[in-house]
Structure 1
Amino acid sequence: MKKDKSKVAPPINENVYANALKEAKVVLWDSYVPLIVEDDYKQLNPKTPFIDTTNKTFTLSDITAKKYKLVMRYSFVDCDQCVNAVLKQIKEAAQQNSIKDAIAITTSASARDFLIRARETPCPVTLYNIPDGSVGLHMENRNFPFLFVLTPEGRAIKIFMPAKENIGQLKEYLTKALSFVNTSNHNAKFKF
């Protein structure tokens, strides 16, 4: 059977495809997370206690210190492969000096367990344990790590759940989120 050439779509120009893909990423970045994740822009409790690896206690207000922070939130009961995939990408970003304001928040069964596991799973950013087990986000403790940007006011924004099977998306998120954090912190210095 012979095809009618008038009904066949013309080949897609690679530049048109690349531009459409870039535009889709911008739309996805600006609207996907707020539409899907109910935790977006949620105000976290500023008095939530955090404990670092030296057993020093901080509050959420202490941690934000009037700066945006990229946060990796995970639990030691999460999928080890998932957590390690994210930590590997954060480590690569840290080696490129693009991480200045980033932290990791985890949940452990006990303070002792936190310290033991922190030694076993080196983290390229400051690591905190939440003794209460939650900062109040619905996505917590669901057996997968996620990332978000923490505003100076203590709001969770730009939430992202990475998949170890799609490292490209994680790299893209880290690039965009770190750029947002670094730009926002730099510009905040000159608002006064």
Structure 2
Amino acid sequence: MLRRLYDWTMSLAARKSAEVWLAVIAFVESSVFLVPADVLFLPMALAKPERSYRYALIATVASVLGGIAGWALGHYAYEAVARPVLEFYNKFEDFERLRNSIHEQWGFLLLLLVTSGLAHLPPIKVVTILAGVINMNLGVFIISAIIARGARFMLLAWLLRRYGEPIRHFVEKRLGQIVGIGAGVLITLGIAYKLLAH
């Protein structure tokens, strides 16, 4: 099923309506969808490098709006909608672990929002729903999401504009690992700070 979803998403890059699909996928990725918007963003930006920043802006705006939808699902419809979505993707246990470790500590949640926005660690939909469940300030949430998602898509746009096709393999295979390691370091520092503060 996942492979079919991925292949379908990749096929959208060649369509005239690719920008609309990019916005749709970036939106639903931040709230309920499994496939990241990168799989559509990368081939679009490589096909038309002169439009890569435009695509990055579209993906950022749609992703932030999707994050707001995820926040609303967590805040207003956790049991009815958000929990079944998390269970469908086998993310409910991860979600509960995060929920129990945060206890309304927005600083740690902000760190998670940044790392998930940049490196999908943990998946962005988990963090957006969690932010709503613990009633994180919506304004702070939106600003954090703009910074995290904007940084990711703008960095990808810059890399693709500057290096073009040769960077694609690196972006697809190694950028996630590098950013993931950086995100892991940030999470470790956040946990260490939390433990030392008590």
Same fold (TM over 0.5): no
Q: For CA contacts below 8 A with separation 6 or more, give which structure has more relative contact order.
A: 1
With the length of structure 1 as denominator, give the TM-score of the two structures: 0.29
Q: TM-score, normalised by structure 2?
A: 0.28
Q: Which structure has more helix as a fraction of its residues?
A: 2
Q: Which has the higher strand share?
A: 1
Bigger radius of gyration among the two:
1
